[in-house]
Structure 1
Amino acid sequence: MFNKLLKWTLPLLVLALAIAGGRYIVSQRPDAPQFTPPQVPVSIDAIRVAPQDYRVVVHSEGTVEPRTESTLIPQVSGQIVAISPTFREGGFFEAGDILVTLDPRDYELAIASAEAQVAQAQSALEQELAQAKVVEGDWRMLGKEAPELGLRKPQIAAARATLLSAESQLERARFDLERTRIRAPYDGQVLEKNVDVGQFVSTGTLLARVYATDYVEIRLPLTDRQLEFVDLPERFRGETAQRGTAGPEVVVKADIGRQLWQWSGRVVRAEGAIDTSTRQLFVVAQVDDPYERVADGQPPLRIGQFVEVEIQGRTLADAFVLPRGAVRDSGDVLIVDADSRLERRPVSVAWTDGEYAIVTRGLEAGDVINVTPLAVAASGTLVAATIDGVPPAPRRRPDVDQVAEGRSQ
């Protein structure tokens, strides 16, 4: 009986001793060194901002158009006998230059005929006046007053009317002769020539298309956002053109070949209505004397040329100029605080262009702004900021030093 009891209790005793011994061994093990994983700062570029006055530049584009474009049409018929050497596509002319000459012989003959008619009418009037004077003398000798018919007053009036008509015909013939010499209406250039020497033209024939060269105009579309920053030369009913305010200056740019050329101009007016299809307002910029030769070999600003225009807008006072990428899509920026940690801050952006974002509210002088694109940027992120090109000072890593000391022990 004792042996049977011992057979069952001995294994249990051994198992209990093993468990107790294992617990004792586990309780006597040395503690492992504890350390916190180091937080690695994110390297970024940043700038320190300061308020400044910023001049907004509004960009637009358009096509160069002439100030005035006209069609030359003869007022009389005839054969072209001569044209000016400048009457060619691209030829320049001055106001009053004779561009086309029609055969004047028919009109010279018409003048001679009209002069003869004037002479005949003048002679007939003089005869009537002389006869009236004789009749008046005869009635006076009789001691009576001559009647109106006796004084030939109706005949004299008819003779004077005939003379006046003849003189009018003579004046018309002289005008027609003058119209055989078709003159330039202003200083300009020939855009299109449709006739040449020997061709017969009649009244209404299109001789050429010409345009003025004293200045050119460019229609520029502006959105509501752009109009906010442009001082337009507005005019109101009852005001004369002289009372209108001068518009902002513009810089006209065009690529000709591989070189960029520039011309200076000014916005002179705004059109009267907003385009209903684009909801934009067109303003008109003017460039004076676009065909003037300049010393640096600048080409002329030609009609029909596509150009880009920079309009000098309003000045934003005490604004902060940031790279456009510094402002996130959510409308905030990332500030680097005194502990080198990021902080999100909402800002008010007044103007943006292809390069800069102009902030008017939300920043203070001396703020450090992150300009490095970050996919994920949570507030409190530790950063190593290179500010205005100056790299950050080396940071101490006490947590790493503690790990190294623990491993050495």
Structure 2
Amino acid sequence: MIGKLLKWILPLVVLLAALAGGRYIISQRPEAPQFNPPVVPVAIDAIRVQPVDYRVVVRSEGTVEPRTESTLIPQVSGKIVEISPSFREGGFFAAGDLLVRLDPRDYQLAIASAEAQVAQAESALEQEIAQAKVVENDWRMLGKEAPELGLRKPQIAAARAALLSAQAQLERARVDLQRTQIRAPYEGQVLEKNVDIGQFVSPGTVLARVYATDFVEIRLPLSSRQLEFVDLPERFRDDTTGGSEGPAVRLKASLGRETWAWEGRIVRAEGAIDTRSRQLFVVAQVDNPYRRGVGDRPPLRIGQFVEAEIDGRVLPGAYVIPRGALRDGDGVLVIDAESRLQRRQVEVAWTDGENAVIVAGLAPGEVVNVTPLAVATDGTLVSATIDGVPPAPRERPGEGGPPGDRVAAQERPQ
């Protein structure tokens, strides 16, 4: 009986002893050190913003067009016997230069014939006047007043009319002779030449197309958004002052690997908005486009495509940041005093390909993130390189100071 009790009691005692020993061992284990992983700040680039007076630059593009373009057409017929050396495509000429001369002999003969008719008419008028005086003297000797028919007044009037007609024919012949010389209507350049020496031309024949070179014009389309920032030289029907002066414009064109620039000015806006594009065309003018410029700059040629930069209005006290710093079009990430990101909604007045101009929502001296971040939440810890200057080691969160400070910085929630 006792043997059976021992058989059951001894294993139970051993089990209890093992449990007690295991608990003792567990209670005496060393305390494991606690370690919180460090919070690694996100490295970003940032700028410190300051208010400036920012001039908006409105960009557009267009094609160079002549101020005045004309078609030379003769008013008389004839064979071309002389052309000017400058009468060729690209040739320059001054106002009044002889460009084309027609054979003048037929018109010289017409002048001689008209002069003869004038002489005959003058002679006939003198004869009628002389006969009228003879008749008047005869009636005076008889002591009577001569009748109108006797004084040959109708014949004298007819002779005067014939003389005037002959003189008009002479003047027409002289004008036709002058018209055999086709002269330049203004200072310009030949755009297209259609005739040459020896060719017979008649009224209606197009001799050439020419254009003025005193200045050229460029039509530049502007959207309603762009028009908000451009002071146009508006003119009204009751305006007696001639309108204000338009803003300056810089024109650029690429020729091969070189880019050239010209200075001009907006001189007017067209009277209607284009119904297809809903844009208004303004006209830029460049004076003396064919004068020799700086270095080897070529002339501004007709039909050339140019890019335009128009001086717009000045936005006072604006903050200029890179356009890539904007988030969702109207937000920025501001870095607070604890080196954490804070989203800020701002008012954007103007954007272009490089910059965004903010007029409300920022304060002088604030630091704005300019690094694109895929995910950025409020409170994200950052290490910012401000205006190209990296942060000092003591300013980096989790570095410098006593260990307790580092742990506090690392355990700070994000």
Normalising by the residue count of structure 1, what TM-score does the alignment of the two structures yield? 0.93
Return the letter of the residue paired with 2:330. Answer: G
Hey, what does 1:30 align to over in structure 2?
30
Percent of pairs identical after alignment? 75
Q: Distance in 1 between matches of 2:407 and 2:181?
A: 104
Provide, for residues 15-43 of structure 1, a one-character-per-residue CA deviation record: whole Å limited to 9, x for no partner.
55544544444344333222322101111
Does the 8 Å contact 1:81/1:198 carry over to 2?
yes
Hey, what does 1:232 align to over in structure 2?
232
SS of match in other structure, 2:47? strand
Does the 8 Å contact 1:93/1:188 carry over to 2?
yes
Q: Distance in 2 between matches of 1:258 and 1:38?
A: 53
Change (3 A) 1:39 1:18: same
1:306, distance to aligned residue in structure 2 (A):
0.8
Change (3 A) 1:376 1:312: same
Provide, for residues 53-80 of structure 1, a one-character-per-residue CA deviation record: whole Å limited to 9, x for no partner.
1111111111111100000000000000
Change (3 A) 1:330 1:263: closer
Q: Distance in 2 between matches of 1:287 and 1:3?
A: 126
SS of match in other structure, 1:86? coil
Hey, what does 2:162 align to over in structure 1?
162
Q: Distance in 1 between matches of 2:404 and 2:375?
A: 25
Q: Distance in 1 between matches of 2:305 and 2:404?
A: 64
Q: What is the correspondence of 1:1-400 to structure 2 with a 5 Å cutoff?
A: 15=15, 18-240=18-240, 243-294=242-293, 296-394=295-393, 395=396, 396-397=398-399, 398=403
1:6, distance to aligned residue in structure 2 (A):
6.5
Provide, for residues 97-155 of structure 1, a one-character-per-residue CA deviation record: whole Å limited to 9, x for no partner.
11000000111111111111111111111111111111111222222222211111111
SS of match in other structure, 2:75? coil
Q: Distance in 2 between matches of 1:25 and 1:211?
A: 108
Q: Distance in 2 between matches of 1:238 and 1:227?
A: 23
Q: Distance in 2 between matches of 1:198 and 1:94?
A: 24
Provide, for residues 262-303 of structure 1, a one-character-per-residue CA deviation record: whole Å limited to 9, x for no partner.
111100000111111111111100000011123523211111
Q: Distance in 2 between matches of 1:68 and 1:237?
A: 24
1:380, distance to aligned residue in structure 2 (A):
0.5
Does the 8 Å contact 1:188/1:213 carry over to 2?
yes
Q: Distance in 1 between matches of 2:389 and 2:334?
A: 17
Return the letter of the residue paired with 2:247. Answer: P
Q: Distance in 2 between matches of 1:321 and 1:132?
A: 98
Hey, what does 1:407 align to over in structure 2?
none
Q: Where do 5+ consecutive residues of structure 1 fail to align? A: 404-409
Q: Distance in 2 between matches of 1:85 and 1:289?
A: 23
Return the letter of the residue paired with 2:38. Answer: P
1:7, distance to aligned residue in structure 2 (A):
5.9
Provide, for residues 207-238 of structure 1, a one-character-per-residue CA deviation record: whole Å limited to 9, x for no partner.
00000000000111111111111110000013
Normalising by the residue count of structure 2, what TM-score does the alignment of the two structures yield? 0.92
Length, aligned pairs only? 402
Q: Distance in 2 between matches of 1:295 and 1:376?
A: 50
1:393, distance to aligned residue in structure 2 (A):
1.9
Return the letter of the residue paired with 1:262. Answer: A
1:330, distance to aligned residue in structure 2 (A):
4.5
Q: Distance in 2 between matches of 1:19 and 1:164?
A: 150
Return the letter of the residue paired with 2:153. Answer: K
Please provide the CA RMSD for this pair: 2.0
Q: Distance in 2 between matches of 1:12 and 1:134?
A: 182
Does the 8 Å contact 1:320/1:359 carry over to 2?
yes
Q: Distance in 1 between matches of 2:25 and 2:52?
A: 73
Return the letter of the residue paired with 1:33. Answer: P
Q: Distance in 1 between matches of 2:407 and 2:321?
A: 42
Q: Distance in 2 between matches of 1:402 and 1:166?
A: 118
